[in-house]
Amino acid sequence: MIIVAITGASGVIYALKLLEALKENKIETGLVITDPAKLILEYELGMDENDFKKLATHYYEADDLTASINSGSCLFKGMVIVPCTMKTLSAIAHGYANNAVTRAADVVLKERRKLVIVPRETPLRSLHLENMLKISKEGGIILPAMPGFYHRPQNIDDVANFIAGKILDVMNIEHNLFKRWHGDEI
């Protein structure tokens, strides 16, 4: 199982594309959506949490610290936080496990599983970068939502699929969400 957490930053389309791809690949998922993220789902995509729950295998409330994903004894492959707020990133970097997102991320790091964080903020303060470095030093993967354009995206879905594809690459999951660079296109 892969845990997908959505926090209250802009860019929830990346989570949508990731969940769609994971479901298409028949990969078991656990979903956590924070309350601020629920507002962003509506604002950016005109969707609600139920639309996202349909794409996941399991759903966990963000404020439920008793959820199974908050324990190292719950065996799951890894976790993706997409998009990730700077507040959530800071909490993870400093071991402040105050909700199901930050506690599950804490479990992933302590159990040496794969944690992928997709921060969505720009520009970045030095403190943001320091927090990312702390997580990276513990084995977390920082994957900023910085799409490439060599695949010549035609619409917003192509751009979002590029980021979702990069997440899947890091999680070692095959996909065809974007055309890969081969160097002979120039």
Contacts of 88 (CB under 8 A, 6+ apart): 5, 7, 34, 81, 101, 102
Mean pLDDT, the chain, whole residue set: 96
Query: In degrees rounded to 5, what are phi and psi of residue 8?
Result: -80, 45
3-state DSSP call for residue 22?
helix
Token readout for 103 is: 């506690």
Q: What single letter denotes the amino acid at residue 168?
A: L
Given pLDDT bands bounded at 50, 70 and 90, which one contains residue 183? confident
Predicted confidence (pLDDT) at residue 76 exceeds the cutoff of 70: yes
Rounding to the nearest 10 degrees, give the CA dihedral for residues 35, 37, 40, 41: -100
- Give residue 185's pLDDT: 64
SS3 169: helix
Lookup: tokens for 98? 């105050």
2-170 CATH fold: Rossmann fold (3.40.50)
pLDDT digits (tens, 9 = 90+) for 31-64: 999 999 999 999 999 999 999 999 999 999 999 9
pLDDT higher than 90, residue 184: no
Where do the structural domains in the chain lie, given as residue ranges? 2-170
What confidence tens digit (pLDDT) does each residue in 118-153 have?
A: 999 999 999 999 999 999 999 999 999 999 898 899
114-119, strands of its sheet edge to edge: 58-61, 29-33, 2-6, 78-84, 114-119, 141-142
* Segment (H or E) for 88: helix 86-93
Can you tell me the distance from the alpha carbon of 59 to that of 26, in angstroms, rounded to the nearest whole number?
16
Q: What is the rounded CA–CA span in Å between residue 26 and residue 111?
A: 25
